[in-house]
Structure 1
């Protein structure tokens, strides 16, 4: 079974970013739950929400759709969504789709 794990890494202060570590596959089976959980996370996020992709082993079009949708929803709430730590295959996917230009990367 494909499962996406959202492990919050904690918020030290309101000015610190909210960091969520994703792991597993982001695909048609896990995307609905990921969308629901990230949408819920936005309510408690600081002005910067960082998704750590270092544990993501696979992502399909439905997963990319979740990332774009959450980015757009975050923007309407005054929250910036950024990505960090994508594996080479995920970096390539973001580059091929052009999402590397609309989803900022942070170290």
Structure 2
């Protein structure tokens, strides 16, 4: 099941706001921790969403990835210039290959 389909499935199990007043908050938050998301209803209308910290982190990371893809796509559209070789960029900024070899950087792709 895709993450989107999984999230939609969780929306099918909403929780009434009155459940919080009935002392069921602890149980609701336990479900949020295992399921990731709970929609809160009041008078059968959505009034909020409770999201587990891990699901929130996942969603914000996905949003950031989407923003970066959109930024890259827009740059590619607007940049009709010929690509600049790395050696030219290094010369321009005074960077040597030794500088790069001495740097410890991990790049996640």
* Higher Cα Rg, which structure: 2
User: How does the TM-score come out when normalised to structure 1?
Assistant: 0.30
User: How does the TM-score come out when normalised to structure 2?
Assistant: 0.29
Higher RCO (Cα < 8 Å, 6 or more apart) = 1
Q: Which has the higher strand share?
A: 1
